[in-house]
Amino acid sequence: MKGTVLVVDDEKNIRETLKNLLEEEGYYVKTADSIESTKKLIQSEYFHTVLLDVWLPDGDGISFLSHLKTYLPDTSVIVITGHGKVEHAVRAIKDGAYDFLEKPFSMERLLLTVERAVQEVLRRRGEKVHQDELIGTSKPMLELKETIAKIAKTNINVLILGESGTGKELVARTIHHLSERKDAPFVDINCASLPDDLIEAELFGYEKGAFTSASARKQGKLELAHGGTLFLDEIGDMSLKAQAKLLRVLETKSFTRLGGTQVVHSEFRLVSASNKELSEEIKKGSFREDLYYRISAFVLYLPPLRERGEDIILLAQHFLDRFSVEYKKPKKCLTDDAKALLMAHQWRGNVRELKNLMERLVILHAGEEIKAEDIRVLLGINPLESYERLFQKDLKSAKREFEKVFIERKLREYGYDLRKVSKAINLDLSNLYRKIRQYGIEMDKGGG
Ligand SMILES: Nc1ncnc2c1ncn2[C@@H]1O[C@H](COP(=O)(O)OP(=O)(O)OP(=O)(O)O)[C@@H](O)[C@H]1O
């Protein structure tokens, strides 16, 4: 796949012609006929390039451009303007469009412009070509996206709190991408993964000879973040000594490298994250209160995935689509049972757990349908745990559902040997056959 393209035009035949043409060239293409439908699409899908017509039934494309860039900050937008409408083209470029196409345009010109636009995004995103966009349409996620859009352009220090895997780093990166600093570095450091003395060396850098293994001068992350954003992940794990030094840097915007005397100035925006309750750490005396106030001018809280029910299926489908493209597998969908199971799961590992699960499902399953059983096997859960909803059914359907799960589990347990299963569950062979057929149970052993 060469890249993903969204075609926004109110004329059906233009949408279809462009879609066919671009698909033939190897792009993944989606279309939208209005601003409203575009808004919906970009909440759940990422596009390298958007082809945007100026005239749309519910507004003008150029005014919509800034909204589009909020959701897809990395995307190159190509605006399609009417013949001779130079003022539109000028405004579009001013508002952040990558390029414009004046009607009528040749197909060669279109393909060339799209190709350049996609290349530009891939280059800009570097190794993070497949980095996720912030997906979610639950109330807290929509509010979060709005807040991010508002604070990104400021220089305010942001603290992101939330359980592990809720997307704190992704939010930090999104803030950077939406800020004026987007072309400067985003420098991250995980305070939990480094021992105390190494954190200082990493943050402040060192001079040659500062310690035994310091064979040459090394710039620290604070210095590297100059002009950009410094992301301190797991800041709650920083030692008190490093905290005291960091506090001084935040007050003076300057520091010296380890073993050095030269004062180094660095101007960066600080975004920190923690999955610990920092107020508790302050009470315990392991986190400085004065540092807390410095880093938390604005606090963003990421709720656990289990509290954002409606995002679960959206994210699951998003990851299935993404990994299917990545692993060149057919597009997959979730059965209603599978969706119910995902909704009922606790997701202690939050979005990271969901993402990993979807990746494994794409790798392991050749078919197009993901069933509850496929997921249960990978999650290693006892079906009954996720069967709370059985109690909302009538006895007959609850019984049927349980019977199916029971037989599926026994079949797996006995390596799909029907004779053994028949004996183990005390059900004669012909009845077992009948039930397997009746419930549409697959005798596929390759599922995981
Ligand atoms: N809303 C979301 N939309 C799309 N992808 C997401 C979303 N939230 C999280 N992810 C993805 O889930 C994974 C985990 O997210 P991330 O690393 O940002 O979490 P974290 O809170 O920083 O975790 P930790 O506390 O363990 O460092 C990443 O691959 C990230 O891209």
Q: Is the pLDDT of residue 1 over 70?
A: no
Q: Is 86 helix (H, G, I), strand (E, B) or coil?
A: helix
Paired with 159 in beta bridges are: 272, 299
Kindly compute the dihedral angle of the four CA atoms of residues 287, 293, 299, 301, in this order, to the nearest 10 degrees.
Answer: 20
Q: What is the mean pLDDT of residues 171-178?
A: 92
Span from the CA of 203 to the centroid of ligand 1 (angstroms): 24
Q: What is the mean pLDDT of residues 347-363?
A: 92
Q: Pick the residue whose CA is nearest to atom 18 on ligand 1.
A: 167
Span from the CA of 168 to the centroid of ligand 1 (angstroms): 6
Span from the CA of 355 to the centroid of ligand 1 (angstroms): 9
The full set of domains in the chain, from first to last, is 3-130 (3.40.50.2300), 139-302 (3.40.50.300), 307-438 (1.10.8.60)
Residues with CB under 6 A from ligand 1: 132, 134-136, 162, 164-170, 233, 273, 275, 315, 351-352, 355
Reported as a single tens digit per residue, the pLDDT across 223-247 is 888 889 999 999 999 989 889 989 9
Reported as a single tens digit per residue, the pLDDT across 47-83 is 889 999 999 999 989 999 988 887 777 789 999 987 7
Q: Is the pLDDT of residue 268 over 90?
A: yes
pLDDT at 41: 85
> Ligand 1 pocket: which of 312, 323, 355, 358 to mutate (most atoms <8 Å of CB)?
355
Q: Which atom of ligand 1 is nearest to the CA of 318?
A: 4
Q: Which atom of ligand 1 is nearest to the CA of 171?
A: 18
The ipTM (two decimal places) reads 0.98
Q: Pick the residue whose CA is nearest to atom 15 on ligand 1.
A: 167
Q: How far apart are CA 180 and CA 169, in angstroms?
A: 19
- Stated pTM of the model: 0.62
pLDDT at 315: 95
Reported as a single tens digit per residue, the pLDDT across 277-316 is 899 999 999 999 999 999 999 999 999 998 888 899 999 9
Span from the CA of 145 to the centroid of ligand 1 (angstroms): 15
Q: What is the mean pLDDT of residues 100-118?
A: 89
Task: Tell me phi and psi for residue 91, to 5 degrees.
Answer: -65, -40
Q: How far apart are CA 316 and CA 351, in angstroms?
A: 9
Span from the CA of 227 to the centroid of ligand 1 (angstroms): 25
pLDDT at 285: 94
Q: Is the pLDDT of residue 445 over 60?
A: no
> How many CB atoms are located within 10 Å of the residue 323 CB?
19
Share above pLDDT 70 across residues of the chain, in percent, rounded to a whole number: 95
Q: How far apart are CA 41 and CA 5, in angstroms?
A: 12
Q: Which atom of ligand 1 is nearest to the CA of 173?
A: 18
Q: Pick the residue whose CA is nearest to atom 29 on ligand 1.
A: 352
Q: Which atom of ligand 1 is nearest to the CA of 131?
A: 31
408 with 374: CB under 8 angstroms? Answer: no
Span from the CA of 26 to the centroid of ligand 1 (angstroms): 29
Span from the CA of 346 to the centroid of ligand 1 (angstroms): 16
215 versus 367: the higher-pLDDT residue is 367
Q: Which atom of ligand 1 is nearest to the CA of 170?
A: 18
Span from the CA of 441 to the centroid of ligand 1 (angstroms): 35
Closest CA to 218 of 203, 238, 237: 203
Q: How far apart are CA 344 and CA 309, in angstroms?
A: 9
> Ligand 1 pocket: which of 46, 159, 169, 175 to mutate (most atoms <8 Å of CB)?
169
Q: How confident is the model at residue 176 (pLDDT cuts 50, 70, 90)?
A: very high
**What single string gives the DSSP state of each residue in 262-326?**
SEEE---EEEEEESS-HHHHHHHTSS-HHHHHHHTSEEEEE--GGG-HHHHHHHHHHHHHHHHHH
Q: How confident is the model at residue 125 (pLDDT cuts 50, 70, 90)?
A: low
- The DSSP secondary-structure symbol of 75 reads P
Can you tell me which residue has the tokens 């799960």? 405
